[in-house]
Amino acid sequence: MSDTLSIYTIFHNPEDAPGMFVTRRFEVVPEGGVPREGWLAASLEEARVGIPPGLALFDRNEEDHPSVVESWI
């Protein structure tokens, strides 16, 4: 059994990729979240393409950074 949990978060228009959608995978371990990979996309649909099937969608929380669109766990 793995001690890690992957969370995919989609951002729109982040500072490091203006005008783009960015999907980033984070591994959540006991020490905190660790970014592992990411990809750029021109649309939300394209940003979702690499997210593994079977994950649950979480809409952004009002406390999230404004560039967060959604997360998949």
d(CA 71, CA 63): 13
Higher model confidence: residue 32 or residue 67? 67
* Residue 33, pLDDT score: 67
* Residue 2, pLDDT score: 58
* Residue 1, pLDDT score: 46
**Residue from 53, 55, 59 nearest 71 by CA:** 59
Residue 47 lies in domain:
5-72
Task: Please tell me the total count of domains within the chain.
Answer: 1
Sheet of 57-59: strand order equals 32-41, 21-29, 5-12, 68-72, 57-59
Counting Cβ atoms within 10 Å, is residue 10 exposed (0-12), middle (13-18) or buried (19+)?
buried
Higher model confidence: residue 35 or residue 66? 66
pTM for the model: 0.86
d(CA 64, CA 1): 30
